[in-house]
A and B are shown apart, each in its own frame.
Chain A
Amino acid sequence: MDWLSTVQGILAATARMATPLLFASMGGLFSARSGHISMFLEGFMLIGAFLGFVGSATVGSAYVGALLALVGGVLISLVFAFFAITAKANQTLIGIGINIFALGITSYLVTVFYGFGNRPYNIDVFTNIRIPLLADIPIIGSLFNLNLFTYVAFLLVPIVWYVLYKTPAGLTIRAVGEHPKAVDTLGGNVIKIRYICIMIAGALAALGGAALSIGQMGQFMENITSGKGYIALAALIFGRFTPKGALIGVLIFGFADAVQMRLQTAGSVLPYQFLTMLPYVITIVALVLFARKSRASAPAALGKPYSRQS
């Protein structure tokens, strides 16, 4: 009887833990497939987590929080796009710059807004929505009693797959990441397409952040993302830049995280810092094992700014 509830718990927790990562990696698919080194996911998530929290705490509606996160994510992504696409600066450096900036500004502002002691708690969050009938299925029923973020995140996978592989726009995006000049010579606007892809990445990654602050925790603390953006990026590379692959990568991490939390609550002999580290270690090991193969699948124009030189 007990193990049944454990399995149910771990399943639901895996889905929950995977949610922010899924948003970020689905966004990252757009930026990476159009030819960008997507180091920035961490920073975009952090900004989204912060704005989601602020929106919810100020207006009293989690939906407003999510909307604010989305808008903020698009705005910060434009900063990246400007430096990477228009100014043609090194994308890894801009990405790291954005991540450090996001960490600094959110830590600072949260103190300015709410002081040290009295951060709002009890803010409006996305609560679990129980899907009738499905939620009654034994064992996997727990997967149908989760919040809106999680449902949307998992729906995103087939949607992103469809957009990338089953629409003309998706074909163009993939082509831009492989051989931008070919698209240019066919009359495509490489710069515009790349800007749009970065904005999609910004919007989705920021929603992933909001899924943490106003989906999971109902709280914002400094560095709340704690490297989840990097894990999302790792999942992308591990998944050979495909939606399905990224999903698997994210689920590995989510599962490891869920198990790790179980062990913590069950009172393991291992120190909890060690357990918290576990999912990251597992993800890195998985990444290293598959990294050799995935190099070939990276878009050929990854990290290369485009110019026509006229």
Chain B
Amino acid sequence: MDVDNSMNDVPVIDMRHITKRFGTFEANSDISLDVYCGEIHALLGENGAGKSTLMNVLYGLYKPDEGEIYLHGNKISFSSPADAINNRIGMIHQHFMLIPTLTVVENIILMSKTTSKFHLNLKTECDRLTEIIQKYGFKIDLMATVSDLSVGEQQKVEILKMLYRDAEVLIMDEPTAVLSPNEVEELFIILREIVDDGCAVIFISHKLWEVMRISDRATILRDGKKVTTVNTADCSKEDLANMMVGREITLHYEKPEIEIGEPMLQLENVCLNSDDGISVLKNINLTVRQGEILGVAGVDGNGQQELADVIHGMRKVSSGTVKVAGSDTTNCSPQTAIDCGLAHIPEDRHKRGSILEFTVAENIAMINVDKAPFTHKGIYYPQNAQKVAHRLKEEFNIRCNSVNAEMNTLSGGNQQKVILAREIYRNPKLLIAAQPSRGLDIGATESIQQLLIDKRTEGMAILLISSDLDEVLAISDRVIVLYEGEIQGEFIPGEKTFTEIGLMMTGSSSEERNSTRHGVH
């Protein structure tokens, strides 16, 4: 107890009056943050509030324009991440910093002090790693290639990378955004062990229940300024939400009853085999009609991505038929599906939905670039793209300096909103929305979900693919559960309990119900 107290007297991290500007825009203004060893400190705020920027300042990636940083009471100034790492600060970025073509062990030892400077023996390095791995009970194949790993495993590699460097402060920028519920549980256990060892964790998340569960204190940012720091135990979820957004958040929607119309998407006996012959979609039959939202629930990686790809024409089915808005588009090009009235909000918006080096306006014009108002009589009018972009920026509350800013200067959540806005703006007959609220703050999540409901009420057919069960249940008219490429069942939200759905998501039949309840630690 005594030791603990003396340790906790001086914060390990003390950021004082930090201001960071990009041009004239203040992403952080006068923010102070102190973090103690042994605590998990949550950093909360809407999209673009300045969370990532503040952490990049701490990590030495950005130089603050004003303010000081103290480490164990000593003033420091980092000019690069190398300094931060040498001072035992590690950061796991919102977008993973792993090299997909290299193995796990190579990624971990990259730029670290290896046994020999002149000879790289992966076996020896693996042995050195197993100690940490066993200590925290990771299950990971060190010789696997990173591109073959699931996102959850990739994240463990990121954590290992930092533990291997003996990090005392671990910054995690939205670590749970891409994880399945089980993986989140595993992560939380690891994080607890890390802080019990005397480390500190700074944890960024938009999911308030996670913040309530895992964090000891929370600092809330709004518009680049600090609102306050609170003890999480003294607050409710609603308190945190109000401090973040400055208004009430309900996450409860009105869904008017309407007439269901023509089928806009029909899949009949669709099967898909992967390149190495493994069956990834098994006999999928589904129909989505005008004016309804069909939710696809399931843990990530159970065929959701492939389902979307098949409908979009990005992958060819092995058998079965796909119909978009009544026309047979089986194995047609993506363009055909789009011409039939399909819009697709892809899951990985960094890789597939956007071009990060292009401006916001250009990204918005991208798919419809050959149509009015962007192109008139064969000539592209950038000013029209800017006008549309400007309107969408207001409508979707996209925070960027201007519509001519490059996509990669936007915060993670705002990049997502640009893609969402573009696809919905096209007013498609059929919309595939994959993880539409991933990475969005609660305010934006609320407005996106409301928007999807409004579009459905106007008669759009929507296929909602989401690993967030709350989201699926909140807005879908019907729900199917996908497990290992197979539909496990269909129900109407409210018909089944959470536990029942959870079991469907793991492929367990009802008889096993009592034996396979996944425990919460």
Contacts and interface: CB of A to CB of B under 8 A. Distances in A.
Contacts of A300: 100-101
Contacts of B83: 187
Interface stretch (B36-44, B113-121, B298-306, B446-454): B113-121
B120 A168 contact: yes
Given A167-B119, A178-B101, A188-B82, A183 B110 contact: yes
Contact of A187 (B86, B100, B107, B109): B86
A84 B473 CA distance: 52
B61 A182 contact: no
Contacts of B59: 185
Contact of B61 (A170, A178, A183, A308): A308
B109 A171 contact: yes
Given A168-B114, A171-B106, A175-B110, A186 B81 contact: yes
B110 A185 contact: no
Residue from A169, A170, A175 with most neighbouring chain B CB atoms (10 Å) = A175
B91 interface: yes
B204 to A, nearest CB: 16
A28 B445 CA distance: 49
A122 interface: no
A185 B120 contact: no
B106 A179 contact: no
Contact of B99 (A167, A182, A308, A310): A182
Contacts of A216: none
Interface in B164-203: none
A166 interface: yes
Interface in A173-218: 174-175, 178-179, 181-189
A187 B81 contact: yes
Contact of B62 (A165, A181, A310): A310
A168 B110 CA distance: 7
A280 B454 CA distance: 63
B85 interface: yes
A160 to B, nearest CB: 15
Residue from A174, A179, A185, A188 with most neighbouring chain B CB atoms (10 Å) = A185
A185 B117 contact: no
B119 A183 contact: no
B168 to A, nearest CB: 16
Contacts of B99: 174-175, 178-179, 182
A91 to B, nearest CB: 16
How many interface residues does chain B have, given as a range? 20 to 34
B86 A185 contact: no
B82 A187 contact: yes
Contacts of B408: 309
Interface in A131-190: 165-172, 174-175, 178-179, 181-189
A149 to B, nearest CB: 26
Contacts of B409: 309
Contact of A178 (B102, B109, B111): B102
Given A168-B117, A168-B120, A308-B61, A187 B101 contact: no
B20 to A, nearest CB: 9
A170 B161 CA distance: 19
Nearest to B60: A187
A175 B110 CA distance: 8
B110 A186 contact: yes
B110 A187 contact: no
Contacts of B61: 184-185, 308, 310
B390 interface: no
Contacts of B93: 185
B111 A186 contact: yes
A168 B109 contact: yes
Contacts of B109: 168, 171
Contacts of A167: 117-120
B63 interface: yes
A310 B62 CA distance: 5
Contacts of A165: 120
Interface in B211-267: none
Nearest to B121: A166
A301 to B, nearest CB: 10
Contacts of B106: 171
Nearest to B93: A185
Interface string B483-517: 00000000000000000000000000000000000
A167 B112 CA distance: 12
B110 A172 contact: yes
A174 B106 CA distance: 11
B98 interface: yes
B111 A188 contact: yes
Contacts of B81: 184-187
Nearest to B409: A309
B140 interface: no
Contacts of A187: 80-86, 111
Contacts of B101: 178, 300
Contacts of B82: 186-189
A182 B118 contact: no
B97 interface: yes
Nearest to B112: A186
A310 B409 CA distance: 10
B257 to A, nearest CB: 50
A175 B85 contact: no
A308 B57 CA distance: 13
Interface string A277-310: 0000000000000000000000010000000111
A178 B84 CA distance: 23
Contact of A171 (B84, B85, B120): B120
Contact of B110 (A181, A182, A308, A310): A182
B97 A174 contact: no
B91 A185 contact: yes
Contacts of A181: 97
Contacts of B91: 185
B120 A170 contact: yes
Interface in B90-141: 91, 93, 97-102, 106-107, 109-112, 114, 117-120
A174 to B, nearest CB: 7
Given A166-B120, A181-B97, A171 B63 contact: no
A196 to B, nearest CB: 15
A181 to B, nearest CB: 6
Contacts of B62: 310
A181 B106 CA distance: 16
29 contacts: A166-B119, A167-B117, A168-B114, A168-B120, A169-B117, A171-B110, A171-B120, A172-B110, A172-B111, A175-B110, A178-B99, A179-B97, A182-B110, A184-B81, A185-B59, A185-B81, A185-B91, A185-B93, A186-B82, A186-B85, A186-B111, A186-B161, A187-B83, A187-B84, A188-B110, A188-B111, A189-B80, A300-B100, A310-B62
Q: Which 10 pairs of residues, A with B, have the shortest CB-CB distance? A: A187-B82, A182-B97, A186-B111, A310-B62, A178-B99, A179-B99, A188-B111, A187-B81, A187-B85, A168-B114
Given A167-B120, A310-B61, 4 more contacts: A168-B114, A182-B98, A184-B61, A185-B91
Interface of A: 165-172, 174-175, 178-179, 181-189, 300, 308-310
